[in-house]
Amino acid sequence: MKKALGVFFPLYTTTMIMLLGAGLLTTYISLRLASANVNGVLIGAIIAANYIGLVLGGKVGYFLIGRVGHIRTYVSCAGIITAAVLLHGVTEFIPIWVGLRLIIGLCLMCQYMVLESWFNDQAAPNQRGVVFGFYMAASYLGMALGQLVLMVQPDLGIQSLLIIAICFSLCLVPIALTTRSHAQQISPAPMELRFFINSIPKILASTLVIGMLVGSFYGLAPVYASLQSLSTQQTGLFMATSIFAGLVAQLPFSWLSDRYNRLVLLRIIALMLVVAALPLAILPHISFYLLLGIGFLVGMLQFTLYPLVVALANDQIEPERRVSLAACLLMSFGVGASIGPLIVGALMEPLGGNILYAFFILCGLITVLLSRTTKRQETHFVEDAPLPHIAMPDSLMSSPLSPALNPSFDEQMIQESMPAPEPATDEQETTDSHENPREQTGEETETAVIIIREPGEHESEDGTEGGHDDRDKGLEKAYTMV
Protein backbone atom coordinates (compact mmCIF):
# COMPACT_ATOMS: atom_id res chain seq x y z
CA MET A 1 0.00 0.00 0.00
CA LYS A 2 2.79 2.43 0.91
CA LYS A 3 4.61 1.69 -2.34
CA ALA A 4 1.47 2.21 -4.44
CA LEU A 5 0.72 5.50 -2.68
CA GLY A 6 4.27 6.75 -3.15
CA VAL A 7 4.55 5.83 -6.83
CA PHE A 8 1.14 7.15 -7.87
CA PHE A 9 0.81 10.05 -5.43
CA PRO A 10 1.44 12.72 -8.09
CA LEU A 11 -1.30 11.18 -10.27
CA TYR A 12 -3.67 11.13 -7.31
CA THR A 13 -2.87 14.79 -6.75
CA THR A 14 -3.63 15.50 -10.40
CA THR A 15 -6.96 13.67 -10.09
CA MET A 16 -7.93 15.57 -6.96
CA ILE A 17 -7.10 18.98 -8.45
CA MET A 18 -8.93 18.17 -11.68
CA LEU A 19 -12.08 17.04 -9.88
CA LEU A 20 -11.88 19.98 -7.50
CA GLY A 21 -12.29 22.23 -10.53
CA ALA A 22 -14.96 20.02 -12.12
CA GLY A 23 -17.03 19.80 -8.93
CA LEU A 24 -16.79 23.53 -8.29
CA LEU A 25 -17.81 24.29 -11.88
CA THR A 26 -20.96 22.15 -11.70
CA THR A 27 -22.18 23.78 -8.48
CA TYR A 28 -21.14 27.27 -9.61
CA ILE A 29 -23.15 27.04 -12.83
CA SER A 30 -26.25 25.75 -11.02
CA LEU A 31 -26.09 28.56 -8.44
CA ARG A 32 -25.32 31.19 -11.05
CA LEU A 33 -28.30 30.21 -13.16
CA ALA A 34 -30.60 29.96 -10.14
CA SER A 35 -29.59 33.45 -8.96
CA ALA A 36 -30.38 34.79 -12.43
CA ASN A 37 -33.85 33.14 -12.32
CA VAL A 38 -33.13 31.05 -15.41
CA ASN A 39 -35.89 28.64 -16.44
CA GLY A 40 -35.56 25.18 -14.86
CA VAL A 41 -35.71 23.50 -18.25
CA LEU A 42 -32.66 25.46 -19.40
CA ILE A 43 -30.77 24.62 -16.20
CA GLY A 44 -31.55 20.94 -16.77
CA ALA A 45 -30.44 21.20 -20.40
CA ILE A 46 -27.08 22.69 -19.41
CA ILE A 47 -26.49 19.99 -16.80
CA ALA A 48 -27.59 17.26 -19.22
CA ALA A 49 -25.21 18.59 -21.88
CA ASN A 50 -22.30 17.91 -19.53
CA TYR A 51 -23.31 14.27 -19.09
CA ILE A 52 -23.95 13.82 -22.80
CA GLY A 53 -20.40 15.06 -23.32
CA LEU A 54 -19.14 12.48 -20.83
CA VAL A 55 -20.88 9.70 -22.77
CA LEU A 56 -19.52 10.90 -26.11
CA GLY A 57 -16.05 11.37 -24.64
CA GLY A 58 -15.75 7.62 -24.12
CA LYS A 59 -15.49 7.19 -27.90
CA VAL A 60 -13.52 10.36 -28.64
CA GLY A 61 -10.93 9.50 -25.99
CA TYR A 62 -9.98 6.23 -27.71
CA PHE A 63 -9.45 8.06 -30.99
CA LEU A 64 -7.38 10.90 -29.51
CA ILE A 65 -5.14 8.69 -27.38
CA GLY A 66 -4.53 6.34 -30.30
CA ARG A 67 -3.84 9.28 -32.60
CA VAL A 68 -1.61 11.63 -30.58
CA GLY A 69 -0.79 9.74 -27.37
CA HIS A 70 -1.68 10.04 -23.71
CA ILE A 71 0.26 13.15 -22.73
CA ARG A 72 -0.81 15.26 -25.70
CA THR A 73 -4.42 14.22 -25.24
CA TYR A 74 -4.44 15.22 -21.58
CA VAL A 75 -2.66 18.53 -22.12
CA SER A 76 -4.85 19.54 -25.07
CA CYS A 77 -8.08 18.64 -23.24
CA ALA A 78 -6.97 20.60 -20.16
CA GLY A 79 -6.32 23.62 -22.38
CA ILE A 80 -9.73 23.33 -24.04
CA ILE A 81 -11.49 23.01 -20.67
CA THR A 82 -9.64 26.05 -19.29
CA ALA A 83 -10.70 28.15 -22.28
CA ALA A 84 -14.30 26.89 -22.06
CA VAL A 85 -14.47 27.71 -18.33
CA LEU A 86 -13.30 31.28 -18.93
CA LEU A 87 -15.79 31.69 -21.77
CA HIS A 88 -18.57 31.34 -19.17
CA GLY A 89 -17.47 34.74 -17.90
CA VAL A 90 -17.40 36.31 -21.36
CA THR A 91 -21.01 35.62 -22.33
CA GLU A 92 -24.25 34.74 -20.54
CA PHE A 93 -26.01 33.50 -23.69
CA ILE A 94 -27.51 30.20 -22.51
CA PRO A 95 -27.22 28.24 -25.81
CA ILE A 96 -23.49 28.95 -25.78
CA TRP A 97 -23.30 27.66 -22.21
CA VAL A 98 -24.97 24.42 -23.33
CA GLY A 99 -22.30 23.95 -25.97
CA LEU A 100 -19.52 24.78 -23.51
CA ARG A 101 -20.78 22.21 -21.02
CA LEU A 102 -20.92 19.58 -23.76
CA ILE A 103 -17.30 20.32 -24.70
CA ILE A 104 -16.16 20.30 -21.07
CA GLY A 105 -17.85 16.96 -20.39
CA LEU A 106 -16.29 15.42 -23.49
CA CYS A 107 -12.77 16.64 -22.66
CA LEU A 108 -13.15 15.66 -19.01
CA MET A 109 -13.92 12.06 -20.00
CA CYS A 110 -10.79 12.04 -22.20
CA GLN A 111 -8.78 13.13 -19.16
CA TYR A 112 -10.31 10.33 -17.07
CA MET A 113 -9.27 7.84 -19.75
CA VAL A 114 -5.68 9.10 -19.81
CA LEU A 115 -5.35 8.84 -16.04
CA GLU A 116 -6.97 5.43 -15.76
CA SER A 117 -4.99 3.95 -18.65
CA TRP A 118 -1.89 5.32 -16.92
CA PHE A 119 -2.85 3.49 -13.73
CA ASN A 120 -3.61 0.32 -15.71
CA ASP A 121 -0.24 0.37 -17.45
CA GLN A 122 1.87 0.97 -14.34
CA ALA A 123 -0.05 -0.90 -11.61
CA ALA A 124 1.03 -4.47 -10.92
CA PRO A 125 -1.80 -7.05 -10.96
CA ASN A 126 -1.51 -7.59 -7.20
CA GLN A 127 -1.86 -3.87 -6.40
CA ARG A 128 -4.68 -2.84 -8.73
CA GLY A 129 -7.23 -2.86 -5.92
CA VAL A 130 -5.14 -0.55 -3.74
CA VAL A 131 -4.35 1.75 -6.66
CA PHE A 132 -8.01 1.98 -7.62
CA GLY A 133 -9.04 2.54 -4.00
CA PHE A 134 -6.78 5.57 -3.66
CA TYR A 135 -7.98 6.81 -7.04
CA MET A 136 -11.58 6.58 -5.83
CA ALA A 137 -10.70 8.45 -2.63
CA ALA A 138 -8.92 11.20 -4.60
CA SER A 139 -11.98 11.53 -6.86
CA TYR A 140 -14.46 11.94 -4.02
CA LEU A 141 -12.15 14.24 -2.06
CA GLY A 142 -11.65 16.46 -5.10
CA MET A 143 -15.39 16.74 -5.68
CA ALA A 144 -16.01 17.53 -1.99
CA LEU A 145 -13.20 20.10 -1.74
CA GLY A 146 -14.58 21.84 -4.81
CA GLN A 147 -17.76 22.55 -2.88
CA LEU A 148 -15.84 23.89 0.12
CA VAL A 149 -14.22 26.53 -2.10
CA LEU A 150 -17.64 28.20 -2.20
CA MET A 151 -17.36 28.79 1.55
CA VAL A 152 -14.15 30.76 1.05
CA GLN A 153 -15.22 32.36 -2.24
CA PRO A 154 -19.01 32.88 -2.07
CA ASP A 155 -19.04 35.46 -4.84
CA LEU A 156 -20.48 34.03 -8.07
CA GLY A 157 -18.49 36.40 -10.26
CA ILE A 158 -15.46 35.93 -12.46
CA GLN A 159 -13.22 35.09 -9.46
CA SER A 160 -14.77 31.63 -9.09
CA LEU A 161 -14.23 30.92 -12.77
CA LEU A 162 -10.59 31.96 -12.41
CA ILE A 163 -10.14 29.48 -9.54
CA ILE A 164 -11.64 26.71 -11.70
CA ALA A 165 -9.37 27.63 -14.61
CA ILE A 166 -6.36 27.57 -12.28
CA CYS A 167 -7.28 24.04 -11.16
CA PHE A 168 -7.47 22.75 -14.73
CA SER A 169 -4.16 24.44 -15.52
CA LEU A 170 -2.33 23.00 -12.51
CA CYS A 171 -3.68 19.48 -12.99
CA LEU A 172 -1.72 19.07 -16.23
CA VAL A 173 1.69 19.95 -14.72
CA PRO A 174 2.56 16.45 -13.40
CA ILE A 175 1.37 14.86 -16.66
CA ALA A 176 3.33 17.25 -18.85
CA LEU A 177 6.58 16.76 -16.89
CA THR A 178 6.47 12.99 -16.55
CA THR A 179 9.40 10.99 -17.86
CA ARG A 180 7.16 8.08 -18.86
CA SER A 181 5.06 7.70 -21.96
CA HIS A 182 2.79 4.95 -23.21
CA ALA A 183 3.67 2.95 -26.30
CA GLN A 184 0.74 0.55 -26.31
CA GLN A 185 -2.47 1.79 -27.90
CA ILE A 186 -5.78 1.05 -26.22
CA SER A 187 -8.86 -0.33 -27.93
CA PRO A 188 -12.49 -0.03 -26.83
CA ALA A 189 -14.22 -3.08 -25.45
CA PRO A 190 -16.87 -4.50 -27.80
CA MET A 191 -20.41 -3.34 -27.03
CA GLU A 192 -22.75 -6.31 -26.69
CA LEU A 193 -25.76 -4.23 -25.72
CA ARG A 194 -28.34 -6.52 -27.30
CA PHE A 195 -27.00 -9.52 -25.39
CA PHE A 196 -27.13 -7.70 -22.05
CA ILE A 197 -30.62 -6.31 -22.73
CA ASN A 198 -31.81 -9.88 -23.20
CA SER A 199 -29.88 -11.37 -20.26
CA ILE A 200 -29.99 -8.67 -17.54
CA PRO A 201 -32.67 -6.14 -18.59
CA LYS A 202 -33.65 -5.23 -15.01
CA ILE A 203 -30.07 -4.48 -14.01
CA LEU A 204 -29.55 -2.21 -17.02
CA ALA A 205 -32.82 -0.45 -16.22
CA SER A 206 -31.75 -0.06 -12.59
CA THR A 207 -28.43 1.43 -13.72
CA LEU A 208 -30.27 3.95 -15.89
CA VAL A 209 -32.57 4.93 -12.99
CA ILE A 210 -29.61 5.33 -10.63
CA GLY A 211 -27.92 7.50 -13.25
CA MET A 212 -31.01 9.70 -13.38
CA LEU A 213 -30.86 10.07 -9.60
CA VAL A 214 -27.14 10.86 -9.34
CA GLY A 215 -27.14 13.18 -12.36
CA SER A 216 -30.04 15.16 -10.91
CA PHE A 217 -28.24 15.46 -7.59
CA TYR A 218 -25.00 16.87 -9.00
CA GLY A 219 -26.78 19.39 -11.21
CA LEU A 220 -29.86 20.44 -9.26
CA ALA A 221 -29.11 19.92 -5.56
CA PRO A 222 -27.46 23.40 -5.49
CA VAL A 223 -30.67 24.83 -6.98
CA TYR A 224 -32.70 23.07 -4.28
CA ALA A 225 -30.43 24.55 -1.61
CA SER A 226 -30.81 27.99 -3.16
CA LEU A 227 -34.60 27.67 -3.11
CA GLN A 228 -34.30 26.75 0.58
CA SER A 229 -32.81 30.24 1.09
CA LEU A 230 -29.34 28.90 1.85
CA SER A 231 -26.37 31.20 1.31
CA THR A 232 -23.57 30.28 -1.08
CA GLN A 233 -21.37 29.15 1.83
CA GLN A 234 -24.14 26.98 3.25
CA THR A 235 -24.84 25.48 -0.18
CA GLY A 236 -21.16 24.60 -0.56
CA LEU A 237 -21.10 22.91 2.84
CA PHE A 238 -24.31 21.00 2.06
CA MET A 239 -22.92 19.71 -1.23
CA ALA A 240 -19.52 18.84 0.28
CA THR A 241 -21.17 16.92 3.12
CA SER A 242 -23.37 14.94 0.75
CA ILE A 243 -20.50 14.02 -1.60
CA PHE A 244 -18.10 13.16 1.23
CA ALA A 245 -20.79 10.82 2.61
CA GLY A 246 -20.44 8.79 -0.59
CA LEU A 247 -16.77 8.16 0.19
CA VAL A 248 -17.46 7.30 3.84
CA ALA A 249 -20.14 4.75 2.88
CA GLN A 250 -18.09 2.72 0.41
CA LEU A 251 -16.15 0.47 2.80
CA PRO A 252 -18.98 -0.52 5.20
CA PHE A 253 -21.39 -1.19 2.35
CA SER A 254 -18.70 -3.19 0.52
CA TRP A 255 -18.34 -5.32 3.65
CA LEU A 256 -22.11 -5.90 3.71
CA SER A 257 -22.17 -6.67 -0.01
CA ASP A 258 -19.64 -9.48 0.41
CA ARG A 259 -21.60 -11.13 3.24
CA TYR A 260 -25.29 -10.79 2.39
CA ASN A 261 -27.54 -11.31 -0.61
CA ARG A 262 -26.91 -8.38 -2.93
CA LEU A 263 -30.40 -8.32 -4.38
CA VAL A 264 -31.88 -8.03 -0.90
CA LEU A 265 -29.27 -5.45 0.08
CA LEU A 266 -30.04 -3.35 -3.00
CA ARG A 267 -33.74 -3.46 -2.12
CA ILE A 268 -33.08 -2.44 1.49
CA ILE A 269 -30.78 0.47 0.53
CA ALA A 270 -33.31 1.76 -2.01
CA LEU A 271 -36.08 1.60 0.61
CA MET A 272 -33.87 3.41 3.14
CA LEU A 273 -33.22 6.08 0.52
CA VAL A 274 -36.96 6.54 0.03
CA VAL A 275 -37.46 7.02 3.78
CA ALA A 276 -34.43 9.32 4.18
CA ALA A 277 -35.45 11.58 1.28
CA LEU A 278 -39.05 11.87 2.44
CA PRO A 279 -38.55 14.88 4.80
CA LEU A 280 -36.73 16.84 2.09
CA ALA A 281 -39.54 16.06 -0.36
CA ILE A 282 -42.49 17.15 1.81
CA LEU A 283 -41.18 19.88 4.13
CA PRO A 284 -41.23 23.32 2.46
CA HIS A 285 -38.49 24.64 4.78
CA ILE A 286 -36.04 22.82 7.02
CA SER A 287 -33.34 24.01 9.43
CA PHE A 288 -29.81 24.09 8.06
CA TYR A 289 -28.22 21.61 10.47
CA LEU A 290 -31.05 19.13 10.05
CA LEU A 291 -30.64 19.54 6.30
CA LEU A 292 -26.93 18.70 6.62
CA GLY A 293 -27.70 15.54 8.60
CA ILE A 294 -30.39 14.30 6.23
CA GLY A 295 -28.26 15.25 3.23
CA PHE A 296 -25.36 13.20 4.62
CA LEU A 297 -27.61 10.18 5.08
CA VAL A 298 -29.13 10.50 1.60
CA GLY A 299 -25.62 10.88 0.12
CA MET A 300 -24.42 7.70 1.81
CA LEU A 301 -27.32 5.73 0.39
CA GLN A 302 -27.44 7.15 -3.14
CA PHE A 303 -23.72 6.73 -3.82
CA THR A 304 -23.73 3.05 -2.82
CA LEU A 305 -26.39 2.04 -5.34
CA TYR A 306 -24.19 2.14 -8.45
CA PRO A 307 -21.30 -0.01 -7.09
CA LEU A 308 -23.82 -2.50 -5.75
CA VAL A 309 -25.61 -2.80 -9.11
CA VAL A 310 -22.25 -3.25 -10.86
CA ALA A 311 -21.31 -6.07 -8.46
CA LEU A 312 -24.70 -7.70 -8.96
CA ALA A 313 -24.37 -7.50 -12.76
CA ASN A 314 -20.93 -9.12 -12.70
CA ASP A 315 -22.33 -11.99 -10.62
CA GLN A 316 -24.70 -12.87 -13.48
CA ILE A 317 -22.32 -12.53 -16.45
CA GLU A 318 -19.56 -14.88 -17.55
CA PRO A 319 -15.97 -13.67 -17.01
CA GLU A 320 -15.22 -13.22 -20.72
CA ARG A 321 -18.08 -10.71 -21.07
CA ARG A 322 -17.40 -8.58 -17.98
CA VAL A 323 -15.29 -5.92 -19.67
CA SER A 324 -17.99 -5.41 -22.29
CA LEU A 325 -20.56 -5.38 -19.47
CA ALA A 326 -18.72 -2.54 -17.74
CA ALA A 327 -18.87 -0.43 -20.91
CA CYS A 328 -22.61 -1.04 -21.27
CA LEU A 329 -23.26 -0.18 -17.61
CA LEU A 330 -21.34 3.07 -17.95
CA MET A 331 -23.30 3.98 -21.06
CA SER A 332 -26.60 3.21 -19.35
CA PHE A 333 -25.61 5.26 -16.32
CA GLY A 334 -24.53 8.19 -18.50
CA VAL A 335 -27.77 8.16 -20.48
CA GLY A 336 -29.73 8.21 -17.23
CA ALA A 337 -27.59 11.07 -15.89
CA SER A 338 -28.47 13.04 -19.03
CA ILE A 339 -32.22 12.39 -18.75
CA GLY A 340 -32.62 13.02 -15.02
CA PRO A 341 -31.71 16.75 -14.94
CA LEU A 342 -34.00 17.43 -17.91
CA ILE A 343 -37.01 15.86 -16.16
CA VAL A 344 -36.38 17.45 -12.75
CA GLY A 345 -35.46 20.81 -14.26
CA ALA A 346 -38.75 20.92 -16.16
CA LEU A 347 -40.72 20.06 -12.99
CA MET A 348 -38.82 22.26 -10.55
CA GLU A 349 -40.21 25.61 -11.71
CA PRO A 350 -43.95 24.76 -11.42
CA LEU A 351 -43.63 22.40 -8.43
CA GLY A 352 -40.75 23.88 -6.42
CA GLY A 353 -37.36 22.63 -5.28
CA ASN A 354 -38.79 19.76 -3.22
CA ILE A 355 -39.53 17.92 -6.46
CA LEU A 356 -35.83 16.96 -6.57
CA TYR A 357 -36.10 14.70 -3.54
CA ALA A 358 -39.57 13.56 -4.58
CA PHE A 359 -37.82 12.38 -7.74
CA PHE A 360 -35.27 10.57 -5.54
CA ILE A 361 -38.17 8.76 -3.86
CA LEU A 362 -39.60 7.78 -7.23
CA CYS A 363 -36.23 6.48 -8.41
CA GLY A 364 -35.82 4.53 -5.16
CA LEU A 365 -39.23 2.90 -5.54
CA ILE A 366 -38.50 1.97 -9.17
CA THR A 367 -35.20 0.42 -8.06
CA VAL A 368 -37.05 -1.63 -5.42
CA LEU A 369 -39.49 -2.92 -8.05
CA LEU A 370 -36.68 -3.77 -10.48
CA SER A 371 -34.76 -5.63 -7.77
CA ARG A 372 -37.67 -8.00 -7.12
CA THR A 373 -36.97 -11.31 -8.83
CA THR A 374 -38.46 -14.77 -8.85
CA LYS A 375 -36.66 -17.80 -7.44
CA ARG A 376 -36.00 -18.94 -10.98
CA GLN A 377 -34.28 -15.69 -11.87
CA GLU A 378 -32.14 -15.75 -8.72
CA THR A 379 -30.51 -19.02 -9.82
CA HIS A 380 -29.01 -17.42 -12.95
CA PHE A 381 -25.61 -16.68 -11.46
CA VAL A 382 -22.25 -17.74 -12.89
CA GLU A 383 -20.09 -20.27 -11.08
CA ASP A 384 -17.69 -17.75 -9.52
CA ALA A 385 -20.47 -15.58 -8.08
CA PRO A 386 -20.48 -13.65 -5.89
CA LEU A 387 -17.37 -11.71 -6.88
CA PRO A 388 -15.62 -9.56 -4.25
CA HIS A 389 -17.34 -6.17 -4.07
CA ILE A 390 -15.05 -3.39 -5.30
CA ALA A 391 -15.84 0.13 -4.09
CA MET A 392 -15.81 2.56 -7.00
CA PRO A 393 -16.84 6.10 -7.88
CA ASP A 394 -19.88 6.60 -10.06
CA SER A 395 -19.32 6.83 -13.81
CA LEU A 396 -19.37 10.62 -13.65
CA MET A 397 -15.90 10.32 -12.06
CA SER A 398 -14.48 7.42 -14.10
CA SER A 399 -14.12 6.16 -17.65
CA PRO A 400 -14.69 2.90 -19.58
CA LEU A 401 -11.10 1.94 -18.68
CA SER A 402 -11.74 1.76 -14.93
CA PRO A 403 -12.85 -1.92 -14.95
CA ALA A 404 -9.31 -2.93 -15.89
CA LEU A 405 -8.21 -1.83 -12.41
CA ASN A 406 -10.74 -4.16 -10.79
CA PRO A 407 -8.63 -6.85 -9.03
CA SER A 408 -11.48 -9.37 -9.30
CA PHE A 409 -11.08 -9.33 -13.10
CA ASP A 410 -8.38 -11.60 -14.47
CA GLU A 411 -5.73 -9.57 -16.34
CA GLN A 412 -5.49 -12.09 -19.18
CA MET A 413 -9.28 -12.01 -19.57
CA ILE A 414 -9.17 -8.22 -19.83
CA GLN A 415 -6.51 -8.34 -22.55
CA GLU A 416 -8.42 -10.98 -24.49
CA SER A 417 -11.63 -8.91 -24.28
CA MET A 418 -9.96 -5.90 -25.84
CA PRO A 419 -9.53 -6.18 -29.62
CA ALA A 420 -6.09 -5.68 -31.05
CA PRO A 421 -5.34 -2.03 -31.90
CA GLU A 422 -5.30 -1.05 -35.54
CA PRO A 423 -1.88 -0.94 -37.22
CA ALA A 424 -0.31 2.49 -36.99
CA THR A 425 -0.09 4.54 -40.15
CA ASP A 426 3.14 6.04 -41.44
CA GLU A 427 2.17 9.38 -39.93
CA GLN A 428 1.51 7.80 -36.52
CA GLU A 429 4.79 5.87 -36.64
CA THR A 430 6.63 9.11 -37.39
CA THR A 431 4.91 10.81 -34.47
CA ASP A 432 5.70 7.91 -32.14
CA SER A 433 9.36 7.95 -33.17
CA HIS A 434 9.55 11.65 -32.24
CA GLU A 435 7.83 11.03 -28.90
CA ASN A 436 9.94 7.94 -28.07
CA PRO A 437 13.42 8.46 -29.56
CA ARG A 438 14.87 5.48 -27.65
CA GLU A 439 12.50 3.02 -29.30
CA GLN A 440 14.15 1.11 -32.15
CA THR A 441 12.24 0.75 -35.36
CA GLY A 442 11.45 -2.76 -36.54
CA GLU A 443 11.57 -4.25 -33.05
CA GLU A 444 8.58 -5.31 -31.01
CA THR A 445 8.39 -3.98 -27.47
CA GLU A 446 6.97 -6.26 -24.82
CA THR A 447 6.27 -3.52 -22.30
CA ALA A 448 3.66 -0.82 -22.54
CA VAL A 449 5.82 1.75 -20.75
CA ILE A 450 8.92 3.37 -22.20
CA ILE A 451 11.16 4.99 -19.60
CA ILE A 452 13.21 7.97 -20.73
CA ARG A 453 16.16 8.08 -18.35
CA GLU A 454 17.75 11.29 -17.21
CA PRO A 455 21.55 11.80 -17.24
CA GLY A 456 23.27 9.87 -14.47
CA GLU A 457 20.69 7.09 -14.32
CA HIS A 458 21.75 3.57 -15.18
CA GLU A 459 20.10 0.22 -15.63
CA SER A 460 21.04 -2.58 -13.26
CA GLU A 461 21.68 -6.12 -14.35
CA ASP A 462 18.12 -7.21 -13.57
CA GLY A 463 16.67 -4.49 -15.77
CA THR A 464 15.68 -2.06 -13.07
CA GLU A 465 16.83 1.50 -12.77
CA GLY A 466 19.19 1.31 -9.84
CA GLY A 467 16.47 0.10 -7.48
CA HIS A 468 13.98 2.82 -8.52
CA ASP A 469 12.20 1.02 -11.35
CA ASP A 470 8.75 2.22 -10.31
CA ARG A 471 9.63 5.80 -9.54
CA ASP A 472 8.87 8.55 -12.05
CA LYS A 473 11.37 11.38 -11.64
CA GLY A 474 9.31 13.78 -13.73
CA LEU A 475 6.17 13.25 -11.63
CA GLU A 476 8.16 13.66 -8.42
CA LYS A 477 9.52 16.98 -9.60
CA ALA A 478 6.10 18.10 -10.81
CA TYR A 479 4.58 17.29 -7.42
CA THR A 480 7.37 19.24 -5.71
CA MET A 481 6.65 22.22 -7.95
CA VAL A 482 2.91 22.06 -7.20
How many residues can be counted in the chain?
482
Q: Give per-residue pLDDT as tens, 310-345.
A: 888 888 877 777 777 877 888 888 889 889 999 998
Per-residue pLDDT tens over the stretch 82-118: 999 999 988 888 889 999 999 999 999 888 888 887 7
**Quick one: pLDDT band at residue 298, thresholds 50, 70, 90?**
very high
Contacts of 39 (CB under 8 A, 6+ apart): 349
Overall average pLDDT of the 245-253 stretch: 85
CA distance 21 to 13: 13
Residue 93 buriedness (CB in 10 A; 0-12 / 13-18 / 19+) = exposed
Interval 174-185: pLDDT, tens: 777 766 555 455
> CB within 8 A of 17, min separation 6: which ones?
142, 167, 170, 171, 482
Rounded Cα–Cα distance for residues 23 and 240 (Å) = 10
Domain ranges across the chain: 2-417
**Cβ distance 386 to 205 under 8 Å?**
no
Mean residue pLDDT of the chain comes to: 77
Query: Average pLDDT, stretch 434-447?
Result: 42
Residues ≥6 apart with Cβ < 8 Å to 40 = 223, 344, 345, 346, 347, 348, 349
Residue 308 confidence class, pLDDT cut points 50, 70, 90: confident
pLDDT-derived band of residue 440, with 50, 70 and 90 as boundaries?
very low
Mean predicted confidence (pLDDT) in 46-55: 88
Q: How far apart are CA 87 and CA 358, in angstroms?
A: 34
pLDDT at 414 over 90: no
What pLDDT does 274 receive?
Answer: 94
pTM of the model: 0.79
- Report the pLDDT averaged over residues 75-84: 92
Residue 71 has a pLDDT of 82
Confidence label for 410 from pLDDT (cuts 50, 70 and 90): low
Asked whether residue 216 carries a pLDDT value surpassing 80, the answer given is yes
Report the CATH fold assignment for 2-417. Answer: Growth Hormone; Chain: A; (1.20.1250)
CA angle 181, 184, 188 (to 5 degrees): 120
Percent of the chain with pLDDT over 90: 24
Question: Pick the residue with more confidence: 375 or 285?
Answer: 285
Residue 371's CB is within 10 A of a number of other CB atoms, namely 23
Please enumerate, as own/partner, the contacts of 39-43 that have beta carbons within 8 Å and a separation of 24 or more. 39/349, 40/223, 40/344, 40/345, 40/346, 40/347, 40/348, 40/349, 41/342, 41/345, 41/346, 41/349, 42/94, 42/345, 43/219, 43/220, 43/223, 43/341, 43/345, 43/348
How much is the pLDDT for 399? Answer: 65
Is 286:280 a contact under the CB 8 Å cutoff?
Answer: yes
Inform me whether the pLDDT recorded for 449 exceeds 60. Answer: no
Phi, psi at residue 180, to the nearest 5°? -115, 145
Confirm if 164 and 85 have CB atoms less than 8 A apart.
yes
> Which of 215-219, 308-312, 443-447 comes out lowest in average pLDDT?
443-447
